[in-house]
Amino acid sequence: MHQNNDNPVTIGISSCLLGEPVRYDGDHKRDRFITDQLAKYLRFVPVCPEMGSGMPVPRPPIRLVGDPHQPRAVEVDNPDIDVTRQLEAYSKKALATLGGISGYILKKDSPSCDMKRVKVYPAQGGSAERKGSGIFARLLMERYPDLPVEDEARLNDAVLRENFINRVFVYHHWQQLLGEGLTPARLIDFHARHKYLVMAHSQAAYKRMGRLLANVPKNALPRIGETYIHELMTALQRPVNRKGHTNVLQHIMGYLKRRIDTHDKQELTESIERYRQGEIPLVVPITLIRHYFRRHPDPYINRQVYLQPHPEKLGLRNQL
């Protein structure tokens, strides 16, 4: 369900996070979770906009100045040297080749790569405000607005980490669907398979998406598809709390009520309740539910992405 050797899940990444010595001081910022764990399940496309645009290693450091919404990149020690245009030119060229990626991990605090809260200095001097996006990152998010994007520091948070990887695999599923050819029937099937995953994030969003798909004429399919994936990725950006997961777990349990005995029902109910109260991680009731559905298969539930949205060995739900 997640990937195969012929169609791996591929994401873009700041080169320095893979241990490549491309930073201004000739160093790197290797991230062990990325290189030791994610690398087993994802294929990386490394990009360093600064080095790619022709800047040497080592090089004078740069920073953002001016308008936080459209900042310029200049050398820290020599602000007259403006590298904005060369960064933008390279970024646009590089981004044109990245249409097949399913996500992107950026370098925090980088004037070229971070997604938000980058320091931007007033043009005439003074204190910086954390209101900017890196030159490359801004263009990335403008060109691919629905693409899952995070910086490596936020991935240290267990909830944000699971959320990002979750979105990457869902976006990959969507790309596979487009590759097969979008049809009304395939779009409705895609929505059905992701029902409980979306419901965990937002029941309101799930209802809106359902109304969108209530009538899908073929001539409106491209427009509806674009609206649908934007709505989906926006909904999935919202982190799921215990209440959201508990609601979905209880819904799924409803499919087992006539199939398991009183003892098993009690065991599953207690597991869900202990999760709700924060006593055990999400992986415990999920594992129990999957166990019961192996014994009592249900075609609809067995296709639900929610029960295993990403590789189990990553252990992302062990800390939720």
Q: What is the pLDDT of residue 6?
A: 61
Number of H helices, E strands in the chain: 13, 8
Q: What is the pLDDT of residues 266-296, one digit of tens each?
A: 999 999 999 999 999 999 999 999 999 999 9
pTM (predicted TM-score): 0.95
Contact 7, 176 (CB under 8 A): yes
Show Cβ contacts of residue 119 under 8 Å, excluding neighbours closer than 6 positions.
63, 64, 109, 111, 128, 129, 130, 132
Q: What is the pLDDT of residue 218?
A: 87
> Averaged over 179-198, what is the pLDDT?
97
Q: Are strands 62-65 and 129-132 parallel, antiparallel or unpaired?
A: unpaired
Lowest mean pLDDT among 38-47, 61-70, 117-126, 159-168: 117-126
Rounded Cα distance between 274 and 291, Å, is 18
Q: What is the pLDDT of residues 118-160, one digit of tens each?
A: 999 998 888 999 999 999 999 999 999 999 999 999 999 999 9
Q: What is the pLDDT of residues 156-179, one digit of tens each?
A: 999 999 999 999 999 999 999 999
CB atoms near residue 138 (< 10 Å): 21
Rounded Cα distance between 204 and 312, Å, is 28
User: Predicted confidence band at 7 (pLDDT cuts at 50, 70, 90)?
Assistant: confident
Q: What is the pLDDT of residue 124?
A: 84
To the nearest whole number, what is the mean pLDDT of the chain? 95
Q: How far is CA 181 from CA 97, 175, 184, 219, 303, in A?
A: 21, 10, 10, 14, 20
CA atoms within 13 A on the CB side of 24: 11
